[in-house]
Amino acid sequence: MSLYQTEKLPTPHEAIAVVSNDLPQRTLTVRLSDLANGYTRLLWKEAFQALRRSEEGGLRSGHPTVYASTPTAHQVAHATTGDAVFGGMLRFTFPSGVEAYQQLISKPVTATVWLDRSSRRFINVNLKHSL
């Protein structure tokens, strides 16, 4: 490690999200909770816009891939932008045969979304069963 740091470390911010399931498409859609505060809404909106610009710009846009993880599996599906309603929705489509999807949909699901306050981007989405 050098004395001078060239990359900024992320400054994570937690957001609670609502998850809906499109069973025929094997897709979970994640949107920010209506109970989120104004700062979290702003971060989400800016991160969503950055991800959408990245998708429109192609693969070499410099925006890291946003993955969903579960308590038993890491990086089970990657995010694409969905509807821009409510500040933007993230869509996670699970390939056929991914066990994590079947395990998740057996009960209601919630998500914890991690955003980076410095870069205004999504870091990761953790999907889990509701309590």
**CA-based Rg of the chain, rounded to a whole angstrom?**
15
Distance, in Å, from the CA atom of 65 to the CA atom of 99, rounded to the nearest integer, reads 21
Return the pLDDT at 56.
Answer: 84
Residue 76 contacts residue 98 (beta carbons within 8 Å): yes
Return the pLDDT at 9.
Answer: 81
Give per-residue pLDDT as tens, 11-65. 999 999 999 999 999 999 999 999 999 999 999 999 999 999 888 876 555 567 8
Question: Strand 77-81 vs strand 67-69: parallel, antiparallel, or unpaired?
Answer: antiparallel
Give per-residue pLDDT as tens, 67-79. 999 988 899 999 9
Distance, in Å, from the CA atom of 35 to the CA atom of 32, rounded to the nearest integer, reads 8
Give per-residue pLDDT as tens, 76-95. 999 999 888 777 999 999 98
Question: Which tokens belong to 103?
Answer: 């395990």
The size of the chain, in residues, is 131
Distance, in Å, from the CA atom of 31 to the CA atom of 33, rounded to the nearest integer, reads 6
Distance, in Å, from the CA atom of 91 to the CA atom of 68, rounded to the nearest integer, reads 10
